[in-house]
């Protein structure tokens, strides 16, 4: 009888490593943020996992519309419908991703449609929603709470100090500043490749 070793594939190991970055508390915080933005009570969907809840794309589309209405109160950005058809669900996920990218979420923090629909990488799905909360909070801090730390504000670069007078030349080139050695070279210093240098 041949016993096969119980090993997992590299893909499975990497998936578990990524998923370990988000605890149950972190995922629950993201879930509460979504329904807080939607201003809804979670009732019939309470038994679903977050990925199952988001899989058909309807919640994501409603979330995008709710955030967008903070900028344009009378506008509806994404039209959506409840459907069991996979291509409709994937299209709605794609519309949300397009909105998130245009809203400011960096490309490297956006999940791919299959990451959610086929549950290929749940960690990047959670990361996208966290990142979206940061950008929504930055634009409307009194309306949208933030998950985790807020976005840092980029500070202007301090002004450069002017060069000392002895380093300022007519053509902007300073021999002292760029390592001029007063004519020293390998020949004058007695450096010969392949032989020992006499330092005495």
- For 18-59, write each residue's pLDDT tens digit: 666 778 888 889 999 999 999 888 766 667 888 899 999 999
Higher pLDDT, 121 or 21: 121
Average pLDDT score over residue span 148-152: 75
**77: CB partners within 8 A, 6+ apart:** 64, 65, 68, 99
Q: Is 197 helix (H, G, I), strand (E, B) or coil?
A: coil
User: Which residue, chain included where needed, has tokens 């794309």?
Assistant: 57
Predicted pLDDT of residue 19: 65
d(CA 183, CA 176): 12
CATH 1.10.418.10, domain 53-147, yes or no: yes
User: Which residue, chain included where needed, has tokens 């669900």?
Assistant: 89
Cβ–Cβ < 8 Å for 147, 29? yes
Average pLDDT score over residue span 57-84: 88
Closest of 112, 115, 145, 152 to residue 130, by C-alpha = 145
d(CA 109, CA 106): 5
d(CA 4, CA 6): 6
Task: Parse the chain into domains and list their residue ranges.
Answer: 53-147
The length of the chain, given as a count of residues: 200
- pTM for the full model? 0.68
Predicted pLDDT of residue 125: 92
C-alpha 57, offset from chain centre: 21
Q: What is the pLDDT of residues 173-196, one digit of tens each?
A: 556 556 666 666 767 766 666 666
């Amino acid at each position: 009888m041949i016993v096969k070793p119980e090993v997992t594939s590299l893909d499975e190991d990497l998936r578990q490593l990524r998923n370990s970055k988000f605890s149950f508390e972190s995922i629950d915080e993201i879930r509460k943020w979504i329904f807080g933005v939607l201003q809804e009570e979670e009732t019939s969907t309470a038994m679903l996992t977050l990925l199952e809840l988001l899989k058909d794309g309807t919640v994501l589309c409603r979330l995008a519309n709710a955030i967008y209405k903070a900028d344009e109160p009378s506008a509806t950005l994404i039209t959506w419908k409840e459907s069991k058809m996979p291509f409709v669900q994937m299209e709605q996920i794609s519309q949300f991703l397009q909105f998130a990218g245009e809203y400011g979420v960096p490309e490297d923090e956006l999940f791919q449609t299959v990451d959610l629909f086929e549950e290929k990488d749940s960690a990047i799905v959670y990361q996208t929603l966290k990142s979206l909360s940061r950008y929504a909070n930055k634009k409307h801090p009194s309306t949208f709470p933030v998950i985790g730390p807020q976005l840092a504000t980029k500070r202007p670069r301090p002004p450069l100090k002017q060069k000392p007078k002895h380093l300022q030349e007519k053509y902007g080139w300073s021999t002292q500043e760029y390592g001029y050695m007063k004519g020293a070279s390998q020949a004058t210093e007695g450096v010969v490749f392949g032989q020992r240098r006499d330092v005495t």
